[in-house]
């Protein structure tokens, strides 16, 4: 339903020549000058959907910016500016101070300027819009994958989903304080063909690369980097790895000829091919896996 909603909005929208890439990718790309392009992404985090009472105000502040910076990392853009809109049921100055501390610490780390926003009363909801720059036509898209490309991911997959299911472990930090992979995105932008951040689950997000590149993906469960805690303590660990969300790692494709350029912290997990969809193999046997990942409005018929 979520993607039907986005498709409907896109079908009603017209854009002019200033917009290079509009609705449908991780961020928009706007022609800013002869040498650079503006990259814009926005996300809304709602209490009870994206975070709950286990998360501290400081963690919520960090995560609300991190998820947007992750979108820019997927596009190989450098973040520059950000706006913050927040709806609050009551004014709690102690909560606000901790929230903005977490938000601004991450902003300062990546030299991002908070330039405005809005505050209003209502249920706790946070909307962040981040603006970045990329050199002319040097952005990465979901639609750029090529046949026989290798598929790689950054970091470990499934840690945030495990932390959501099993709170109060060493993996909690991956759920509440994700780190956008901006450094690696700059390292891969010269040779990667496509990229997406893993927010809704590996299968779902790799599926977007497949559908927009009109290709299929074949990945190996054993090749996916997973924290040992997950494998050792959850018999359904493969579901967390394949369909769990909130990792905010990158999934990207590139030519096997560029394997020697793969940065540290990245792992090859499969290859692109003809056809459509994501196929997962475990010990050379294809898995029958129906759960794809998180979908907004999944409860609406």
Please give the domain boundaries of the chain with CATH numbers for all domains.
2-135 (3.30.1330.10), 142-286 (3.90.650.10)
What CA dihedral angle connects 176, 70, 198 and 188, to 10 degrees?
Answer: -130
3 state DSSP class of 158? coil
Q: How many other C-beta atoms are found inside a 10 Å radius of the C-beta of residue 300? A: 9
- The low-confidence residues of the chain, meaning pLDDT below 70, are 1-6, 8-9, 12-16, 18, 48-53, 290-301
User: Contact 139/76 with Cβ under 8 angstroms?
Assistant: yes
User: Contact 252/152 with Cβ under 8 angstroms?
Assistant: yes
Q: Which residues are bridge partners to 85 per DSSP?
A: 118, 127
Q: pLDDT value at position 26? A: 74
Place of tokens 């996300």: 43
3 state DSSP class of 173? helix
Q: For residue 17, give the DSSP letter.
A: T
The Cα 284–Cα 289 span in angstroms is 15
Q: pLDDT value at position 54? A: 79
Q: pLDDT value at position 4? A: 66
Q: pLDDT value at position 25? A: 78
Residues counted in the chain: 301
3 state DSSP class of 63? helix
- Token pair recorded at residue 114: 């908070």
**Phi (first) and psi of residue 49, to 5 degrees:** -110, -50
3 state DSSP class of 150? strand
Q: pLDDT value at position 133? A: 93
Establish how many alpha carbons lie within 13 A of residue 189's alpha carbon, considering only the half-sphere containing its beta carbon: 21
C-alpha 72: how far from chain center: 9
Place of tokens 């056809």: 275
Q: Could you give the residue ranges of the DSSP H alpha helices within the chain?
A: 2-11, 57-74, 93-109, 159-165, 172-176, 182-188, 202-213, 228-233, 237-243
């Amino acid at each position: 339903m979520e993607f039907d909603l986005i498709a409907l909005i896109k079908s009603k929208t017209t854009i002019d020549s200033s917009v290079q890439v509009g609705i449908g990718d991780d961020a928009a790309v706007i022609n800013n000058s002869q040498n650079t392009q503006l990259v814009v992404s926005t996300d809304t985090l709602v209490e009870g959907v994206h975070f709950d009472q286990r998360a501290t105000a400081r963690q919520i502040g960090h995560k609300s910016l991190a998820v947007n910076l992750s979108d820019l990392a997927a596009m190989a853009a450098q973040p520059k500016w950000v706006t913050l809109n927040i709806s609050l049921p009551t004014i709690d100055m102690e909560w606000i101070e901790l929230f903005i501390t977490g938000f601004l610490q991450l902003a300062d780390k990546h030299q991002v300027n908070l330039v405005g926003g809005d505050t209003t009363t209502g249920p706790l909801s946070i909307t962040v819009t981040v603006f970045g720059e990329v050199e002319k036509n040097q952005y990465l898209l979901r639609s750029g994958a090529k046949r026989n490309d290798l598929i790689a991911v950054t970091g470990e997959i499934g840690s945030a989903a495990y932390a959501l299911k099993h709170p109060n472990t060493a993996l909690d930090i991956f759920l509440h304080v994700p780190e956008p992979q901006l450094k690696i995105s700059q390292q891969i932008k010269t040779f990667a063909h496509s990229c997406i951040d893993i927010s809704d689950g590996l299968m779902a997000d790799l599926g977007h690369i497949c559908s927009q590149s009109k290709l299929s993906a074949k990945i190996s469960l054993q090749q996916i980097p997973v924290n040992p805690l997950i494998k050792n303590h959850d018999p359904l660990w493969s579901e967390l790895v394949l369909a769990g969300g909130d990792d905010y790692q990158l999934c990207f494709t590139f030519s096997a000829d560029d394997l020697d350029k793969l940065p540290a912290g990245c792992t090859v997990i499969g290859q692109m091919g003809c056809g459509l969809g994501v196929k997962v193999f475990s010990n050379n046997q294809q898995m029958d896996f129906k759960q794809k990942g998180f979908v907004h409005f999944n409860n609406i018929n």
